[in-house]
Amino acid sequence: MKTLSLIIDCDPGVDDAVALMLAFGSSELELLAVTTVGGNVPLAKTTRNARMLRQIAGREDVPVHAGADRPLRRKPAGAGEFHGEEGLGFMTPFTPAKGVADGHGVDALINAVMAREPETVALAVLGPMTNLALALRREPTLARRLGPVAIMGGARSEGGNITASAEFNVWADPEAADEVMRSGCRITMFGLDATHQVRATEERIAAVAGIGTPKGDTAAAMMRFSQKVEREIVGWDAPPVHDVCPVAWLLKPELFELKPCRIAVEFQSELTRGHTAVEFRVDPAEAPHRWAVSADADGVFALITEAVR
Ligand code: RIB
Ligand code: CA
């Protein structure tokens, strides 16, 4: 079985947590590192949370490196209402046995990619794109050396979730998203158009909970918290599990339909800050990006259920 070398950059975050349980349980992935960024909750908490989740999954072989604690230009802005004060829903924080790895997350990303054959290291970005933007500034050849870059962010037909115009990850650091979109990275973006099709229904949560392992119990608990919040804030009862999409695509690309496009990011206007302008009227041979337009949610949840077994 061919393994895929992968770095996951994230801001856990309850849906990041489900994505990490999927990745930690997938033997097809060689996880080189988890890097963290300030986002849903501040960096100290996203980094502690990544270490907690790593310990629960029994994957202390994977180093956790702390990255940027703030956006390139903007003030840090959280999304605690969707993730809980500590970032992992109802879970009571504990001090993980294994610490943070030496070295900033941005350097860990650069070093891991530059030490390997070109295009052999994939990257999943599940939070604001600050770390990738900083890495691209620091290592100009990184865009060419990186393999597939799968990003959760943006919105086109679905509208925004943090403002009417924008999805949270892009809104939180629009300058970083702009630099990443213009970098030449091989980007596939999973915006709300796709992630809103991947919802944690009662049946799907029960299937994950029914596995009866620490990874399964944790993933189910995260989704149960999202279910509660979704009911209270949005009025729906099946929350989208956004961040599993990039990881599921890297594991099983056929679960998603992609369209070639050019994605531009608004960072001038406060009203439409973080809007992603996804232009499909491009020559497919020239298109710099891919945008996910549909997802096989049952297929994604089958991957999650298997990974936590
Ligand atoms: O808009 C959804 C994204 O914002 C997800 O990555 C979620 O974790 C939050 O960070
Ligand atoms: Ca996230």
Cα of 283 vs centre of ligand 2, distance in Å, is: 31
Cα of 248 vs centre of ligand 2, distance in Å, is: 15
CATH of the domain at 267: 3.90.245.10
> Which residue is closest in CA terms to ligand 1's atom 1?
168
Residues 6 or more apart from 211 whose CB is under 8 A from it? 305, 308, 309
Query: In the prediction, which pLDDT does 6 show?
Result: 98
Sort strands 4-10 and 29-36 into parallel, antiparallel or unpaired.
parallel
In the predicted model, residues of the chain with pLDDT beneath 70 are 1
- Alpha helix stretches (DSSP H) within the chain: 14-24, 43-56, 80-83, 105-114, 130-138, 142-145, 168-172, 174-181, 192-195, 202-209, 214-229, 244-251, 297-307
Q: Rounded CA gap, 38 and 11, in Å?
A: 6
Q: Which helix (H) or strand (E) holds 152?
A: strand 149-152
Number of domains in the chain: 1
The ligand 1 atom at the shortest distance from the C-alpha of residue 128 is: 10
Query: In the prediction, which pLDDT does 266 show?
Result: 98
Question: One-letter amino acid identity for 99?
Answer: G
User: Helix, strand, or coil here: 181?
Assistant: helix
Query: In the prediction, which pLDDT does 40 show?
Result: 97
pTM for the model stands at 0.98
Sort strands 149-152 and 29-36 into parallel, antiparallel or unpaired.
unpaired
Q: Rounded CA gap, 41 and 12, in Å?
A: 8
83, 242, 275, 289: the catalytic one is 242
Identify which ligand lies nearest to the alpha carbon of 240. Answer: 1
Residue 259, CA distances (Å) to 119, 140, 189, 289 in order? 21, 27, 10, 8
User: Helix, strand, or coil here: 293?
Assistant: strand
The ligand 1 atom at the shortest distance from the C-alpha of residue 152 is: 6
Query: In the prediction, which pLDDT does 80 show?
Result: 79
Query: In the prediction, which pLDDT does 78 show?
Result: 83
Percent of the chain scoring above 70 in pLDDT:
100
- Evaluate: CB of 13 within 6 angstroms of ligand 1: yes
pLDDT in tens, 17-76: 999 999 999 999 999 999 999 999 999 999 999 999 999 999 999 999 999 999 999 999
Query: In the prediction, which pLDDT does 15 show?
Result: 98
Give, for ligand 1, the residue of 223, 242, 275, 276 to mutate: max count of ligand atoms closer than 8 Å to Cβ: 242
DSSP 201-248: -HHHHHHHHTT-SHHHHHHHHHHHHHHHHIIIIIS-SS-B-TTHHHHH
- Evaluate: CB of 247 within 6 angstroms of ligand 1: no
Q: How far apart are the first and last CA of the chain?
A: 19
Any catalytic annotation for residue 65? Answer: no
Q: Rounded CA gap, 81 and 64, in Å?
A: 25
Q: Is the dihedral of CA 19, 229, 206, 48 positive or negative?
A: positive
Identify which ligand lies nearest to the alpha carbon of 10. Answer: 2
Q: Which helix (H) or strand (E) holds 151?
A: strand 149-152
> What six digits make up the tokens of 198?
């991947």
Query: In the prediction, which pLDDT does 3 show?
Result: 84
Give residue 244's domain range: 4-307
Instruction: Decide: 260 and 293 in contact? Cβ < 8 Å.
Output: no
> What six digits make up the tokens of 178?
């702009």
